[in-house]
Structure 1
């Protein structure tokens, strides 16, 4: 049985959960509890669990006895478990209601042929990733907000090129996609870590990857995913915009897709170290990222369009970013690749200045992968091939210093000097291609987005008129 076969069978088990009244959002969490026990048995790691609370102990019981034991097992492991076991089961409880449904899940999981998945060194990790991807694709689960499309993650990691010995951070880790892809990249370039010394390999497994995740249910999935990929690093439950984020160590590489929107209740982040107070989560996360990089460190972050054009604090944050870092590349992403249709996003690639905090950005290259692109979704899935032209244009240097060619007004890749951007009041929402599909009102952005763009551009125009008036007055 292939890994894909097992993923399909695991997802089919969700029918049992649905019949027992379990909501889509709890499917994978419920399966994770059972899979965790089963995986430890399959991989010979049951010593991590206290005696009497292992897979065979659960499987050996029937009916109401099994059901009651399962509920007590969740509580016991959440309170008495050690290390990662305790983290996975912290505050856990079952959403199952019928003993017969638990018995069916246990029997079916135990009956799967795990041989092929175990024979592949990354098989169990691929299996769990496949389950997470199916859950994210199911809109009713709402899990898409924590799941960055893997082809996009692979593209970003291939360009940023994390290296052995570097600390890689994701302050909004979700289910761990960026951290795991970085780990797989390092393994691929170090002979599965065998090219490293024992000390170096131990660092990669236990210290190289640092992350935070705010939502506990998602944190469980993240820990399970990390464990199955051989990552034992501290990836903790906490708020990157609070004290936990302020305590994160400086990183060589930061890769992340922070949550969109404003902080609940419109309150400000509780981070006293952020220079520009804002309830906009993306602007707060962006400040954390460029402040938390080591000198010379590099980052790639997925952000919505409003970060590029928002006035007020948005201008100050963008200006601070371009002073402290070399914002060398902006990728305008296609629509339809995230759970909320119509959300327009970008990837910002930048490198922290090594010796100074001003003037680090000399020019920004913008690649438009949005205009005249298909609407991605189930019918037109996102694939690695989607990003090939961008990867070629970006070049092989992870700091964005490869030789590049401006493709002109008809091309997708263009260069804009820091002076040109300053003349736009540091507005980075730059477009030049004519949208051949924008022929009716249905294709237009939402009214609030149109209003925000108009306001930003009017302010830019007024500032340019003020400069012109001042220049004319000076000449007089």
Structure 2
């Protein structure tokens, strides 16, 4: 059986009235020993995450369209040996796509592959479900020990970020329209409740000199006249 066929069989059996034990026994027969099987399962997993995003409600926070992610990764063009970071990791789409991009580069050595596995991809995620989805997604893509931390990125004071924390590349689609409480806003020089604008300040602070960022930001950011938007545009243009 291919994994996709097994999932179809499970779905049919559920609809036919099979009990839970019978379904569990079928699932227990799945084996993910080969890279081909893992690759196929990762595609199925991505499809389920996409369905969550399309379902509305909070699903959109887990899914950024893959062609968009792929285009951003190609433009930013990360290199082996660089630290790549997503502080709003969601389902880890950016990190997984960056891993696929780097893994496909010609002439990679065993040392390069170890660097990609252990010292390249870093992320933070606040929500428990998204955190678990991200870990699983990265493992299925071939990153055996993901460097993902379950924490509220915005709870970290910007002044506490030191040069040792800086990264070469930021890839992210931060949440829009959220409202952070006043004590969280105190961690940022430009005060605002808008989570996307707080994340933008965080990403700027996290980048090394000469680093690159591919960040999705709300379109009104370019035209808003509130103090935070104006100050952030000024920061980006001048500093």
Short-chain TM bin: 0.7 to 0.9
The answer as to 2:198 corresponding to 1:280 is no
Aligned partner of 2:115 in structure 1 is: 203
Distance apart, 1:113 and its partner CA:
7.4
Of the three residues 137, 156, 161, the one matched with 2:54 is: 137
- Residue 297 of structure 1 aligns to a residue in which SS? strand
The answer as to 2:59 corresponding to 1:146 is no
Closer, same or farther in 2 for the Cα pair 1:9/1:283, shift >3 Å?
Answer: farther
Within-5 A mapping of 1:270-419: 272=187, 274-311=188-225, 312-324=227-239
Aligned partner of 1:126 in structure 2 is: 43
- Residue 216 of structure 2 aligns to a residue in which SS? strand
Unaligned runs of 5+ in 2: none
Unaligned runs of 5+ in 1: 20-99, 325-476
* 8 Å contact kept, 2:3–2:30: no
Closer, same or farther in 2 for the Cα pair 1:144/1:132, shift >3 Å?
Answer: same
Distance apart, 1:137 and its partner CA:
2.6
Write 1 or 2 for the structure with the bigger share of helix.
2
TM-score, length of structure 1 as denominator length: 0.44
Distance in 1 between residues matched to 2:238 and 2:25, nearest whole Å? 59
* 8 Å contact kept, 1:168–1:255: yes
Distance apart, 1:3 and its partner CA:
5.1
Distance in 2 between residues matched to 1:174 and 1:9, nearest whole Å? 30
Distance apart, 1:209 and its partner CA:
0.4
- Residue 128 of structure 1 aligns to a residue in which SS? helix
Of the three residues 239, 250, 260, the one matched with 2:152 is: 239
Closer, same or farther in 2 for the Cα pair 1:267/1:244, shift >3 Å?
Answer: closer
* 8 Å contact kept, 2:185–2:193: no
* 8 Å contact kept, 2:38–2:140: no
Distance in 2 between residues matched to 1:145 and 1:211, nearest whole Å? 15
Closer, same or farther in 2 for the Cα pair 1:114/1:197, shift >3 Å?
Answer: closer
- For these two proteins, the number of residue pairs brought into alignment is 232
Distance in 2 between residues matched to 1:244 and 1:9, nearest whole Å? 50
Closer, same or farther in 2 for the Cα pair 1:3/1:267, shift >3 Å?
Answer: farther
The answer as to 2:103 corresponding to 1:187 is yes
Aligned partner of 1:225 in structure 2 is: 137
The answer as to 2:75 corresponding to 1:159 is yes
TM-score, length of structure 2 as denominator length: 0.84
Distance in 2 between residues matched to 1:176 and 1:7, nearest whole Å? 23
Closer, same or farther in 2 for the Cα pair 1:180/1:275, shift >3 Å?
Answer: same
* 8 Å contact kept, 2:161–2:205: no
Of the three residues 148, 168, 183, the one matched with 2:84 is: 168
Distance apart, 1:217 and its partner CA:
1.1
Closer, same or farther in 2 for the Cα pair 1:271/1:233, shift >3 Å?
Answer: farther
The answer as to 2:93 corresponding to 1:177 is yes
Give the structure with higher Rg (CA): 1
Distance in 1 between residues matched to 2:63 and 2:173, nearest whole Å? 9
